[in-house]
């Protein structure tokens, strides 16, 4: 494992690490923010951030402005890349499939199955790695944007007990019902739509075994509302008796300007649960 970037940031340190992943069989990069408390050697909770389509490990760490709040609350932030990458890795010319578009699933279909094991990576390998090498307390939260909002919801729902808090910005809540999700899940998991439900937050909520504090922010001027469908999440939570704080924001779009405007409140949401 190799540190390839480090920058002082709000009294802590923003780093980027690269390592050989056994899940994907490729080199993977992730951003790591260590708050001042972690630099002093304290064991701190970790908030995982999953990014959206086309992103790398860079977008969140350069644009969200999260470090100020992580420093204040003493949270470690971990932000992985969104797919395996490289010459030997299957890809597609479209922005919404292949490299940069892993959808946080474990692919079963060729040519994707060889490397696209992003669920194993983000849910198992990466937390184990982080907790082995950095001053992580073992308390985990998970958060994400768009495709990464889907990833955060699904990863938490598939692993009861693993996270204490979950939140999302403009998540794809029902991938089996929208074009982005149907295209990606069809490619990665095959044409049998019954296999998609295990990767669909709205479906998984119906049998959720735990009740995590769940905060979702959605811009009302989001250009991708037809892919996101926050009303389906609201209906599913209501039917399942799962609490949901869904906040609709007039005027906000799908960009990092939206994320930056509310990331402080998401980090406070996670810090409350992670300190408990």
Please report how close the Cβ of residue 51 comes to its own copies at its closest, in angstroms. Answer: 15
DSSP conformational letter for 123:
I
Please report how close the Cβ of residue 157 comes to its own copies at its closest, in angstroms. Answer: 30
On the 0-12 / 13-18 / 19+ scale of CB atoms within 10 A, 128 is exposed
By CB under 8 A, name the one of 20, 239, 243, 260 that touches its own copies.
260
Residues in the chain, how many?
276
Please report how close the Cβ of residue 17 comes to its own copies at its closest, in angstroms. Answer: 16
Each residue of 236-257: b (16+ CB within 10 Å) or e? bbeebebebebeebeebebebe
Binding region for its own copies (CB under 8 A) out of 88-96, 97-105, 198-206, 248-256: 248-256
Q: What is the Cα–Cα distance from 193 to 197, expressed in whole angstroms?
A: 7
Please tell me which residue in 96, 200, 217, 222 is annotated as part of the active site.
Answer: 222
Should residue 19 be labelled a site residue for its own copies when binding is judged by CB under 8 A? no
Mark residues 68-87: x for contact with its own copies by CB under 8 A, - for none.
x-------------------
Closest listed residue to residue 164, CA positions, set 117, 209, 210, 223: 210
Residues 25-64 that bind its own copies (CB under 8 A): 62-63
Catalytic residue status for 222 = yes
Catalytic residue status for 146 = yes
Mapped onto helix, strand or coil, the DSSP state of residue 126 is: helix
Should residue 249 be labelled a site residue for its own copies when binding is judged by CB under 8 A? yes
Catalytic residue status for 145 = no
Should residue 163 be labelled a site residue for its own copies when binding is judged by CB under 8 A? no
CB 125, CB 22: distance < 8 Å: yes
Residues 89-128 that bind its own copies (CB under 8 A): none
Which pair of structure tokens corresponds to residue 232?
């389906």
Should residue 165 be labelled a site residue for its own copies when binding is judged by CB under 8 A? no
Q: What is the Cα–Cα distance from 206 to 228, expressed in whole angstroms?
A: 18
Q: Which residues are catalytic?
A: 146, 222, 254
Q: What residues line the site for its own copies (CB under 8 A)?
A: 7-11, 13-14, 62-63, 65, 67-68, 219, 221, 249, 251-253, 255-258, 260-261
């Amino acid at each position: 494992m190799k540190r390839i970037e480090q920058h002082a940031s709000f009294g802590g340190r923003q780093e980027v690490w690269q390592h050989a992943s056994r899940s994907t069989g490729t080199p993977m990069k992730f951003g790591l923010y260590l708050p001042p408390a972690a630099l002093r050697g304290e064991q701190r909770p970790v908030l995982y951030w999953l990014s959206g389509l086309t992103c790398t490990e860079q977008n969140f760490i350069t644009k969200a402005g999260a470090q100020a709040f992580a420093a204040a609350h003493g949270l470690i932030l971990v932000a992985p890349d969104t797919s395996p990458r490289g010459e030997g890795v299957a890809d597609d010319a479209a922005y919404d499939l292949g490299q940069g578009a892993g959808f946080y699933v474990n692919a079963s279909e060729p040519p994707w199955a060889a490397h696209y094991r992003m669920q194993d990576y983000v849910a198992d390998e990466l937390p184990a790695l982080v907790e082995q090498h950095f001053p992580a307390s073992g308390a985990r939260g998970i958060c994400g944007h768009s495709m990464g909002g889907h990833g955060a919801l699904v990863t938490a729902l598939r692993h009861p007990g693993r996270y204490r808090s979950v939140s999302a910005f403009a998540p794809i809540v029902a991938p089996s019902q929208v074009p982005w999700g149907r295209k990606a899940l069809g490619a990665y998991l095959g044409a049998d739509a019954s296999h998609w439900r295990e990767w669909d937050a709205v479906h998984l909520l119906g049998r959720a075994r735990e009740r995590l504090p769940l905060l979702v922010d959605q811009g009302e001027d989001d250009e991708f509302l037809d892919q996101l469908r926050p009303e389906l999440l609201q209906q599913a939570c209501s039917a399942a008796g799962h609490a949901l704080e869904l906040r609709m924001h007039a005027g906000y779009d799908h960009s990092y300007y939206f994320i930056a405007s509310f990331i402080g409140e998401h980090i406070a949401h996670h810090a409350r649960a992670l300190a408990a």
